Chain A
Amino acid sequence: MPTPVFSNPDFAAYVTQSFEFGRINQYLASAGDIFEASVSCKAVGLGPNSDLSRVQVGYFDPQVPDSSMALGLITPARALALPLPATPVTGRYQPQQTPGRILIWSGDRYDSTYDPSGAGPLVFERPIIDVVQYFADPPESIEGQRADKEYYYARMPAFGGDNSLFLLIPFYGRRYACCNFENAAGVDVAITISGLDFVITPASFPLTQLIAPFTLSDGSASQQIIRAATHGIHDYLQIQFNPTGDPGPGVFGSVRIQVSDLVA
């Protein structure tokens, strides 16, 4: 996929084109992506495609002391179903005197440069931020689970020598994952499933082992289930495939990961 680039949707164009909503629906380029909207709206909520589970919204409120900026956190279970003013002309954030646009940014952390593989193969599924700004009355279904997602790879990339293959799947706030593996590498492969949490540190990010490492024999399959109640909530699933010998230029086999907000 192309490297994600930060860009800001033109919310005013949505209005002039008579859309009843505007939408940010794109890959997050960095943890600092901050979006602005210069048009007022009736509500803001997460869209179904969002991998992020927490999004911050800032809007102009002159009653907030010192800053005139009120904040609201939206999650799959809680939208901001309030008429939010955008006041780029009449209201200004203090003390900088910045026009009072609605500001939207990720409440989850992320590091696009994270690479646990060193020089080895890496499949890094980038997180999508999906936020809907409603210009008309929002539907009753504005709050609810995000859409379930499936990540399916019929032929995972070859791993040369005895390098491990790493697979990174967004898991922000998810409650459930079903992981299916089929080994066709020609050698046995050890698999480790960990929960990765991005934190603000120059050191390495914490990894929590969710499933004890297991060896998948060549030609066999395995299913692993992850539940938040048992394994906790993490930003990403990190799955490491470590061949027990040199599989040559082959492929691992098939991998199917399904993630959900529902507790199964």
Chain B
Amino acid sequence: MAARATLADAALGAFEDMTVQSAAGTLDDAIAAFIAGYTASFDEQRSGDRPIINWTAVLYGYQAQMDGAVNDWTELRITADYVYRLCFLGSQLRSQSSISVAQAAAILAAYNANFG
């Protein structure tokens, strides 16, 4: 898959992109790497960061339950929906200056490194 240019693009591309990892049976590892790729940029103590941290809790909590089976469409459906929402939220928070350019870039870079 090609790299997504914006977080909104990543949101809408999530299902299509994550299908690749699902087919390879590596979706759970890719999600863990995606989370690890951006979480250092966010701080629980900053209120503007908290929505992203809350989504991470939802996504990470589900990832911890996954068994990483090949083409598990239920796992793909649920995690693609969470990534879709996390990326759209990142785009929204950046547009209202609640998170920095670097933080939004960190999410997009982690997305493209693991799903793009």
Contact = CB atoms under 8 A, between A and B. Distances in A.
B88 A68 contact: no
A94 B61 contact: yes
Interface stretch (A28-36, A117-125, A135-143, A167-175): A28-36
Interface of A: 5-6, 8, 29-34, 36, 58, 65-69, 93-96, 98-99, 101, 103, 105-106, 109, 111-113, 200-202
Contact of B60 (A5, A30, A95, A111): A95
| The 10 residue pairs across chains A and B that have the minimum distance between CB atoms | A67-B61, A32-B89, A32-B85, A30-B92, A98-B57, A66-B64, A32-B88, A200-B15, A93-B57, A30-B88
- B57, B89, B91, B98 — most chain A CB neighbours (10 Å): B57
Contact of B14 (A58, A95, A200): A200
The main secondary structure of chain A at its interface with chain B is loop
A6 B61 contact: no
A200 B77 CA distance: 10
26 contacts: A5-B96, A6-B51, A6-B98, A29-B96, A32-B51, A33-B51, A58-B57, A66-B65, A67-B64, A67-B65, A69-B58, A69-B61, A93-B61, A94-B61, A96-B56, A96-B61, A98-B44, A99-B44, A101-B54, A103-B57, A105-B85, A112-B92, A200-B11, A200-B12, A200-B14, A201-B15
A58 B58 contact: yes
Interface string B46-64: 0100110111111011101
A69 B88 contact: no
Contacts of A33: 51, 89, 92
